[in-house]
Amino acid sequence: MIDDIDPDHIGWLLFQANQDWTLEFVDRMQAAGHGWFTGARSTLMGHIAPRGTKQGLLVDRIGISKQAVQQLIDGLQAEGVVERVADPEDRRGRIVRLTEAGGAAMQDANRIKRELEATYRLAMGEADFARLTELLGKLRLSRRNPVA
């Protein structure tokens, strides 16, 4: 078929596995009552530290434009999930932190991630899952992005 895509490299497999994980994660988050949750928003929220993160650092970590990060934050702020507060170290800077609703969403996210992991463990078997985790960690360390 003309639209078939089947590259034969590890990057494609990693991308597909990530897409599968993200789609399932987003579906489960929305089913848990977080209808505002999307893949892009999950990426941003995953980089917000428990006590907040400087907005400029989020731009560096995510690797998308300042404007795109701004739009994601604006949307999450409108949903009541994050808030911006003044950065005490930088008069012009802002810190993005989770609201109470955002913290509750992250608790659900952590539970759902553990549930997803359990389905992977069951599908792969404990030994293969442990080996996959080990190898992905090794790969990540070998290619470490110093910003992320």
What's the CATH code of the domain at 137?
A: 1.10.10.10
Q: Is residue 87 within 8 Å of residue 93, measured between CB atoms?
A: yes
Q: Is residue 3 part of a domain?
A: no
Tokens (6 digits) for 44: 């941003």
According to the model, what pLDDT value does residue 63 have? 87
Q: What is the pLDDT of residue 5?
A: 67
What is the tens place of the pLDDT at every residue in 118-146?
999 999 999 999 999 999 999 888 876 65
**pLDDT tens digits, the chain, 148 residues: what are they?**
566 666 778 888 999 999 999 999 999 999 999 999 999 999 999 999 989 999 999 999 998 999 999 999 999 999 999 999 999 998 888 999 999 999 999 999 999 999 999 999 999 999 999 999 999 999 888 876 654 5
Please state the domain count of the chain.
1
* 48, part of any domain: yes
In a domain, 12, yes or no: no
Residue 20, in any domain of the structure: no
- Quote the domain boundaries for residue 58: 26-142
Residue 103 falls inside a structural domain = yes
Distances (CA, A) of 102 to 2, 42, 107, 117, 145: 44, 11, 9, 22, 27
